[in-house]
Structure 1
């Protein structure tokens, strides 16, 4: 079986003040690509009440209240991510549900 980056989260090498973490959401079958499809986790305090429940689930990650911003999905070079901080595999059903809302409206 191919080792997967799916659901691993990393420190954001970009705007970490607002978006401290990036979560890999691409399927393990695409592990050979040099890029990773990621979704940012935003600090909840920067969003106010704008989060939509199914599209933007909320969790505590590394002792920070964060919101999964499915609508800000993007791709980054794998080499820019560094070492993973942990996994959100326990949140996989919420992550996949948010992506279903984004792509299929369900």
Structure 2
């Protein structure tokens, strides 16, 4: 179980940091269209990006592991809700596995705790 938990932490942290880093680059036409559909402005992107990077990094510390996963799950639910409000069911459904990841990590608990 610890090995699975470690792998999932690494995957979750990598995804958070990658998405955060990508948010600092100029969006492509598809990403810009999706952000506009969700109601996210270009001015908000640096804040979301920094938040995502911080969430990815705080996964590695036992004191912030739970809170980081809860914030990740809330962020994903927010994206799903914005997608559904905009009528984009496909994006909301795509987010389901990403919502499962922090919830599974919470269930597995922090693997390095002594």
* Fold conserved between structures, TM > 0.5: no
Greater C-alpha radius of gyration:
2
Tell me the TM-score normalized by structure 2. 0.27
Tell me the TM-score normalized by structure 1. 0.28
Q: As a proportion of its length, which structure holds more helix?
A: 2
